[in-house]
A and B are shown apart, each in its own frame.
Chain A
Amino acid sequence: IRSSDGLLRIDLNKKKLDKETLTAAKLARQEGSHLLSSAGSRQYL
C-alpha cells in the first residue's frame, strides 16, 4: 500500500524450495536448452 513516504509496497510471499521442484526445474531447463540449440542462430538466452 502506498504510504506517507510515497512508496508503494507490495508484500511478497515465500514458498519453501524442495528437491522435487528443483529436479523438475532441472529437467525443464534441459528441455529448454534443446529448444534453444535447435533455434540455431537466435540470440536469446
Chain B
Amino acid sequence: GGSNDDIVPLDNYLDTQYYGEISIGTPPQNFTVIFDTGSSNLWVPSSKCYFSIACYLHHRYKSAKSKTYKKNGETCTISYGSGQIAGFFSEDNVLVGDLVVRNQKFIETTRETSPTFIIGKFDGILGLGFPEISVGDAPPIWQSMKEQKLLENDVFSFWLNRDPDASAGGELVFGGVDPKHYKGSHTYVPVTRKGYWQFNMGDLLIGGQSTGFCAGGCAAIVDSGTSLLAGPTAIVAQVNHAIGAEGIISTECKEVVREYGEMILQLLIAQTSPQKVCTQIGLCVFDGTHSVSNPIESVVEKQNRGSDLFCTACEMAVVWIQNQLRENKTKELILDYANQLCERLPSPNGESTVDCHQISKMPNLAFTIANKTFTLTPEQYIVKLEQAGQTMCISGFMAFDIPPPRGPLWILGDVFMGAYHTVFDFGKNRIGFAKSA
C-alpha cells in the first residue's frame, strides 16, 4: 500500500455473537460494537461514507456535531475476510460505560466492501488486542485508559453467558474482575507474543487421552471476536472421530496409511524422531526444524500440490500412530484407527454437524494450560443452531492450520470463553482463566 497506509488482515466477524454499546463525541453518539480481543483498532462508520450500503444501515459518526472532535486525517485500510474497510483517523472522546476516554484515536470508515458489515448487527469494532497489531499505531482503548489513569487495576475481564435462555449476554469489566462471574481462582499464563493475546498451551485430551499433536506445546490466542474454537487438523480429526462428526474423506491420507502405515509404525518403534519419519519415507523434506513438502517437485505445480497433501497426511498419520503406540494397541488396530481418521478430516474453515441426540454420550475434552486441565463438556463444545425452526448441532471445533514458526496455533473463541471467565491483564502481561459462573 501507500506509505501512509497500514494493511492488517483481520478475522471476519460474521459469526460473532456478543456486542455492546459505546458512545463517541460530545454530545455522545451511540454505536454498537464488538469487543474484540483479536484486533486492536476502534472503528465506526463515518458520515462521510457515501458509497457503501453497510454505512447506511448503521449508525454513522458525525464529527461536525461533536465539540470534542479533533482532526487527524491519516488514511488507512484494514483487510478482513472477503473485503476491506478503508477510512481515516480521527480523535474524540469515547464513552465506555460512564468512563470518558479522552482524545481516543479511532477510524472513521468511508468504505466497507463486504456483506459482513451489511448483515452484522454491529456498527463497528472495538479492538482489545495489543498496540503491536494496531493499524496506524492507534492505541487500543485499554492503553488510553491506562495512560489516563482511569482504571483501578490494569486488567479487563470477560464473562460470556452461555445460557441460551438468559437475557444477559455477558459482561465486560474494565479495571478488575467481577467475583459473581467465576468460581475458584484464576490460573494465569504469561503472554508469549504481544499483538494477539497469545500464550503457550499444551495437549488436548479426549476423554482423558492425549491427542499428541500439541503435547509439546502449541501457541494459542484468546479471541472474543470468534465464536468457535479453531485448531490443527490433526487434532480436530480426532475430535470429529470421537464425537461422530461428519468429515471429508481424504484419499491421499488413506493412501499414506495403506502404503506407508506399517513403515511409519516400524520407524516409530525403532525410535526414529517423529519429525523425521516422513522425510525418511520420502514424502517430506526436513528443513532442520520440521518437515516440509518436497521442493524439488515444485516446478510442476500439480505434482507439488500432490506432494503437499501427501506430506501433510503423513505428518498427521505419524501423530496418530505414535499416540496409539503409547497405548500399546496392536498394529491392526492402530492402522485401522488411522484409516478411520482419514474419513473424519474437517473441511478447512468449515463446521461439522453432529447428532443432537448423541450429545450426552460424547466425551469431555480438556485443554492443558499451565499443567492444569480445562475441561469442556459436550454441552459446552457443541453449538446448537436454529435453522427453519429446527435445531441442528455443530461441533465447536474447526480446522485451522498455521505452519511453524507462528503455528501450530489454537484460536480460543467464545466457546472456550463461555466456559472459562477470562482475565486480560495488560499490567502484568498475562491471561487468567477460571471456571465461569
* Physical interaction between A and B: yes
By a beta-carbon cutoff of 8 Å, the part of chain A in contact with chain B is 1-2, 5-22, 24-33, 35-36, 39, 42-45
Interface size class of B (residues with CB under 8 A): 35 or more
Q: Which residues of B contact A (CB under 8 A)?
A: 8-9, 11-12, 14-21, 32, 35, 79-83, 96-99, 114-116, 119, 121, 151-152, 160-161, 164, 168-178, 196, 227, 348-351, 383, 385-387, 392, 394, 402, 406, 409
The one of B12, B164, B168, B383 that contacts A32, using a Cβ cutoff of 8 Å = B12
A-B contact count, CB below 8 Å?
A: 141
Establish whether residues B387 and A29, one from each chain, have CB atoms under 8 Å apart when the complex forms: no
B231 to chain A, nearest CB (A): 13
Bound Cα distance A35, B83 (Å): 9
Tell me whether A8 and B406 are in contact (CB under 8 A).
no
Given contacts A9-B173, A11-B169, 15 further A-B contacts (CB under 8 A): A1-B98, A5-B176, A8-B174, A12-B18, A13-B19, A16-B17, A22-B15, A25-B15, A28-B81, A28-B116, A31-B82, A36-B9, A43-B406, A45-B9, A45-B406
Question: Once the chains bind, are A13 and B82 in contact (CB under 8 Å)?
Answer: no
The list of the 9 closest CB pairs from A to B, nearest first, reads A14-B169, A28-B81, A31-B82, A25-B14, A12-B170, A6-B152, A25-B15, A8-B174, A28-B12
Whole-angstrom CA separation of A25 from B97 in the bound complex: 30
Which residues on B sit within 8 Å (CB–CB) of A2? 97-99, 175
Is chain B's binding surface mostly helix, strand, loop or mixed? loop
With A2-B97, A24-B115, A26-B350 known as contacts, the answer to whether A14 contacts B387 (CB < 8 A) is no
Contacting residues, chain B, for A43 (C-beta < 8 A): 406
Q: How far is the CA of A16 from the CA of B385 in the complex (A)?
A: 8
Q: Are B114 and A28 in contact (CB under 8 A)?
A: yes
Which residues of A lie under 8 Å from residue B79 when comparing CB positions?
35
Contact at B350–A16, with CB atoms within 8 Å?
Answer: no
The complex places the Cα of A30 from the Cα of B79 at a distance, in Å, of: 14
Query: Is there an interface contact between A19 and B178, defined as CB atoms closer than 8 Å?
Result: no
B384 to chain A: closest residue by CB: A17
CB distance from A13 to the nearest CB of B (A): 5
User: Can you sample 30 A-B contacts with CB below 8 Å?
Assistant: A1-B97, A1-B98, A2-B99, A6-B175, A7-B173, A7-B175, A7-B178, A8-B173, A9-B173, A10-B35, A12-B35, A14-B17, A16-B17, A17-B15, A17-B385, A22-B351, A22-B385, A22-B394, A24-B116, A25-B14, A25-B15, A26-B351, A29-B12, A30-B348, A31-B82, A32-B9, A35-B9, A43-B406, A45-B11, A45-B402
* Known contacts A7-B178, A16-B386, A35-B9; is-contact A27 B82 (Cβ 8 Å): yes
Contacts A1-B97, A15-B121, A35-B79 hold; do A10 and B172 have CB atoms under 8 A apart?
Answer: yes
Among B9, B178, B409, contact of A44 (Cβ-Cβ < 8 Å): B9
Per the bound structure, the CA–CA distance linking A45 and B114 in Å amounts to 19
**How far, in angstroms, from A7 to B172 measured CA to CA in the complex?**
10
A17 to B413, CA, bound (A): 14
In Å, the complex CA distance between A45 and B383 comes to 25
A8–B97 CB distance below 8 A: yes
**B349 engages A30 (CB within 8 Å):** yes
Q: How far is the CA of A11 from the CA of B151 in the complex (A)?
A: 18
